[in-house]
Structure 1
Amino acid sequence: MSPNPRQILLLQAVQAQGSVMLDDLAAKLGVTLQTMRRDVQRLADEGLLTRFHGGVRVPSSTTENIAHQQRENLHAAGKARIARAVAAEVPNDCSLILNIGTTTEAIAKALLQHSGLRVITNNLNVAIILSANPRCEVIVAGGVLRGRDRGVVGEAAIDFIRQFKVDIALIGISGIEADGSLRDYDFREVKVSQAIIAHAREVWLAADHSKFNRPAMVEVAQLAQIDRLFTDAPIPEPFPALLAEAQVRCHIAA
């Protein structure tokens, strides 16, 4: 297939954002919704896009995440807004756990002006960032170090996390599916994240708009296990009803 100029613009718009609702795409490109659906279907048939309810996203594997540096640059502005929104809600003099992910690393940067924090993490990037804050104590989980993103995983990390009960777990995720499940790629990382969720008084999820309807292989948790969600754009269908049913408090970082 050779995409026409409109379809090339469509592909570029989706690639820039990761996932987009069809209504927004039609308005952006100045075409009818019917034309947009026809273009999207043609591109999806060729494997260039993946459709979901009411929208479209870039194709992705359910078994392997993209590289850390790519993820760091992807939706960086949205992650920064989310990080500032999270930091504004985190009180001084509290205990936190931050897990693996580029969004939690952005949150760590936003916490550099806080005082009296005690932070536990299995993310060496988070530990390095927060070590620059002399008013913050950083505790690093031991275990198997993943060289590609400096994440610490494995049974030793799980056993370490189980010693604590913190005020807030700040977690990132690879995907949120339409059944209300939070998903990731590495089962060893998932096991640590599950321990983090179980050993926090509140769980705050930070996820940019591209994570909605993004598939991944391993279930971490359900939305009902989350207390707050921080994201960077209006939440697509069918998630508003799912979040309301799970009684999750939502923050959209403008």
Structure 2
Amino acid sequence: MHPNPRQLTLLSVVQAQGSVTVEQLAETLGVTLQTVRRDVQRLADEGMLARFHGGVRVPSSTTENIAHQQRESLNAEGKSRIARAVAAVVPNDCSLILNIGTTTEAIARALLHHTGLRVITNNLNVASILSTNPKCEVIVVGGVVRGRDQGIVGEAAVDFIRQFKVDLALIGISGIEADGTLRDYDYREVKVAQTIISHAREVWLAADISKFNRPAMVEVATLSQIDRLFTDAPPPEPFAALLAEAQVRLAVAIP
């Protein structure tokens, strides 16, 4: 499913508020209750929303992410804006690591015209995308391949990454909680992400607006370990203060 603009707006409203009634959605979007119910049903069927009596909320699982195909569709336009903003400031002739995630895959597509990049990745989708750029060298991390999203995880991946020190780590994340922690679902993926962060001279986080206040089980890092944050809309409270305190440079890719 590729949500239409109205459905993307509906998702943004629910993500900003956590939960909302069908009546509130109809009023906010300026559409009928029937239209909202139809959109909610489609989005719930795809796992993008969870329904309760009279309303909807964000999926609340802290132990399992939604499917890769669903994440590709969710806020795809916002992720593309983030990717272009990141690519605009990535210099040619540098070394970088891209980790698992649909946002990092969007960044890979935005880097297709760069030259002289040496890219290390534990994401086979990223490797497939950037391998079509003849002026880019791609190094694939060894380890266990997760079939659901083509991510590479496990101790072998950690050991492989420890050999390198790159200019930039471009990372995605599943959730940023209100205490400033970055969180994900698979502890094996987290171990790899932590190693990536510790083996980069600068760490850039790419996270669309849906990732703020989204819970997940395993702590990856804190905002204080991030140098730059790229997102597609101004973060909600209390993140402006948290980012300022952590001295993270914020870039908002406005439409």
TM-score of the aligned structures, taking structure 1 as reference length: 0.83
Partner of 1:73: 73
1:204-223 to structure 2, matched below 5 A, reads 204-223=204-223
CA distance in 1, matches of 2:204, 2:14: 23
Partner of 2:110: 110
Partner of 1:96: 96
| 1:249 partnered with 2:249 | yes
Cα deviations across residues 9-38 of structure 1 (Å, max 9, x unaligned)? x9985436651259x9798357xxxxxxxx
CA distance in 2, matches of 1:211, 1:98: 18
Partner of 2:145: 145
CA distance in 2, matches of 1:18, 1:68: 20
Task: Quickly say closer, same or farther: Cα 1:160–1:63, change in 2 above 3 A.
Answer: same
Cα deviations across residues 95-151 of structure 1 (Å, max 9, x unaligned)? 000000000000000000000000000000000000000000000000001011000
CA distance in 2, matches of 1:74, 1:16: 10
Contact 2:182 2:223 in 1 (8 A): yes
Fraction of identical pairs, as percent: 76
CA distance in 2, matches of 1:12, 1:130: 28
1:188-227 to structure 2, matched below 5 A, reads 188-227=188-227
Deviation at 1:60, TM superposition (A): 2.5
Partner of 2:16: 20
CA distance in 2, matches of 1:18, 1:111: 32
Cα deviations across residues 129-188 of structure 1 (Å, max 9, x unaligned)? 000000000000000010110000000000000000000000000000001000000000
TM-score of the aligned structures, taking structure 2 as reference length: 0.82
SS at match of 2:16: strand
Deviation at 1:49, TM superposition (A): 3.9
Give the AA of the match of 2:190. V
Give the AA of the match of 1:116. G
**Number of equivalent positions:** 225
SS at match of 1:240: helix
Partner of 2:239: 239
SS at match of 1:138: strand
Task: Quickly say closer, same or farther: Cα 1:27–1:93, change in 2 above 3 A.
Answer: farther
Give the AA of the match of 1:15. L
Structure 2 unaligned residues grouped into runs of 5+: 1-5, 19-23, 31-49
CA distance in 2, matches of 1:116, 1:18: 42
Partner of 2:187: 187
The Cα RMSD (Å) is 2.4
Cα deviations across residues 44-99 of structure 1 (Å, max 9, x unaligned)? 9749544xxxxxxx132100000000001110000000000000010000000000
Task: Quickly say closer, same or farther: Cα 1:16–1:239, change in 2 above 3 A.
Answer: closer
CA distance in 1, matches of 2:93, 2:229: 22
Partner of 2:21: none
Contact 2:94 2:117 in 1 (8 A): yes
SS at match of 2:233: coil
Partner of 2:46: none
Task: Quickly say closer, same or farther: Cα 1:68–1:25, change in 2 above 3 A.
Answer: same
CA distance in 2, matches of 1:21, 1:199: 36
